Amino acid sequence: MHVYGPGAEWTFRAPQTTGRQATVIATALALLALGSAIAAAITDPRLPTPNQWQITGVLAVVAALGLVTGRFFGPTRDGSGPPWDVHTIWLLPAAMLTPPAAFGCLVALSVITDLRKSEHQFQLRMVVVSITVTTTAAIHAAALLIADFALAGLVGIAALWVIGCIVAIAVAYVFVTPNGTALWLDYRWSLVLFGCAVSGLLIAAAIRSDAPIGFTALAPLLLAQFALRWPELTRFARIDSKTGLPNSQHWDERSRRLLSAAEFHRTPAYVLMVDLDRFKSVNDTFGHLAGDQVLAEVSALLRSRIAPGDLLGRFGGEEFVVTLFDRSPADALAVADHIRTAIAEQPHLLAHITTDAAREPGTALCTVSCSIGLASAAHCGYDLTKLLECADRALADAKSAGRDQVRAVGATAGGTSRLRGNDERSAAERPEAVTVWNVAAGGLSRTPHLHP
C-alpha cells in the first residue's frame, strides 16, 4: 500500500529542515491515517459474514507465509532496501471484499511489520504505515461507492497511487540527505508496487467466486519479495568488498549526478583525494591481510568523519575519494585536515601477523599517515574528470613536499598552495609514515628500522 516514485534517485535542492519538522509531518500523517480508519469503521459498521471471515483467514495465511519468506529470502535489512513491503497483494483484496471489522486485523499486521524495520528512521516508518492505512481506507471506500467491481478496483489503485505519490514527494523535502537527495524515491520500486496492486485486484476477482482461490496470491507475493532483492544485487556490484565503501565506478556515477545538480544551483563542491603514505611498507612488513585490516579501519574512520550528504568511495589501492557539498573553502579545508589528523592518530592493532623482526605470528600496533589533495569546483569547474585531475595534481604536490599534509589547487596559474600539513618541518623532524610496536609480555617495544 505504499507508493514511492516516480524517479530513480531524485536530485533537487531541498530547504533546510530539522528533525522536528520530520516529526511534525509524521505525526500529521499518522493523525490523517487514524481519521481514515475511524471514518471507514463508522461508514461501514457491518459484522463480517462467515464467507468474509473465510476470505480474511485465507489472506491472513498468505500474509504470514509472505512475511516469513520475506524475512529469510527478501532484501537485506540494512537500509539499502525500500522502507515498505509488498503487502498490497493481500491488503487490496481484503479491503475490497470484507468490512473494516475483518480486514482491520490485516492492516494491523502490516503496520506492526513496517514499524519493526528499525534500520529506517522512525519518522519515515510512521509515514509508510500512514500511507498503508489511508490508502487501504480509500480502496474500501471505492468498493462501497462504486457498484462495478472492476471499476472500483481501478479507482482504488488510482487512489493508492495518487495518495502515495503526493505524500512521498511532499515528505521528500524533509527526509533527504543534506545535499538534497531523496535516495528512497525510485521508479523501480514503484513499478514493483504497481504490479502488486494489479495482482491484488486480479486475486480479489478470483476470491469472489471461491475464497480458497486466494491461496494463489502466494505466487505473486513471493515473486514480488524476490523482486525487492535488486537493491542487494546492485549493492554487490557497487560496493568494494574489502572496505564496504562505494567502488570507484559507483562513486563516479553518483558524484557526477550530484555535481550536475550542484552546478545548476551554484552550490559549492569539492573533491578530496586521500592517499595513505608509504602503505606498501605495511603490506611488505606485516602481510596483505594486515594491510586489508588497516584499509577497513581507515574506511570506517572516514565514514564517521563524513557528513551524510557527502560522498565517500574507494578509488583504488590505498586511495580514497570524497565529494563535499555546500561548504565554504575554509570548511572544506577543515574537513580535509580533520581527516588527515584523524588517520594519523588512529592506532591499528594487527593480530596474527609476521614482522620483519620476528618471523612468527605476533601482535603489533601501527599508525599510518596520509596525504590529501583538494580541488574546488569554483577553481576547476563542476566536471568530475577535471576535479579529479586537479585533486591528483595537488596530491602529487603533497607527496613530493614531504607527505602527511593537505594541498589544494590554487586560484592562480593552475598551481597548488599548501593549506595544512607538516612540510614546514625538516625531513629529520618528520615522523615515520608507519610507526609500529610489538606487543609482548604486557609491554610495548618499538620495532627498529622500518622503511625510510
Instruction: Please report the domains of the chain, with CATH numbers, ordered by start residue.
Output: 10-238 (no CATH), 248-446 (3.30.70.270)
- The predicted structure's pLDDT at residue 282: 83
Exposed/middle/buried for residue 142 (C-beta within 10 Å: 0-12, 13-18, 19+)? buried
- The predicted structure's pLDDT at residue 390: 94
- The predicted structure's pLDDT at residue 189: 67
Exposed/middle/buried for residue 123 (C-beta within 10 Å: 0-12, 13-18, 19+)? buried
Residue 269 φ/ψ, nearest 5 degrees: -145, 150
- The predicted structure's pLDDT at residue 18: 47
Exposed/middle/buried for residue 266 (C-beta within 10 Å: 0-12, 13-18, 19+)? exposed
* 328 CB-side CA count, 13 A: 3
pLDDT beyond 80 at 374: yes
Question: Percent of the chain at pLDDT above 90?
Answer: 34
pLDDT beyond 60 at 369: yes
pLDDT tens sequence across 235-256? 666 777 788 888 888 888 889 9
* 447 CB-side CA count, 13 A: 24
The answer to whether 428 touches 358, Cβ cutoff 8 Å, is no
**25-53 average pLDDT score:** 92
Question: Within its chain, how far is the Cα of 181 from the centroid?
Answer: 11
Residue type, 148: D
pLDDT tens sequence across 179-202? 344 444 556 667 777 888 888 899
Mean pLDDT lowest among 198-207, 294-303, 342-351: 342-351
pLDDT beyond 90 at 163: no
- The predicted structure's pLDDT at residue 115: 87
pLDDT tens sequence across 271-283? 999 999 988 888 8
Residue 366 φ/ψ, nearest 5 degrees: -140, 160
Contacts 24+ apart (CB under 8 A), 42-45: 43/141, 43/144, 44/99, 44/100, 44/140, 44/144, 45/99, 45/101
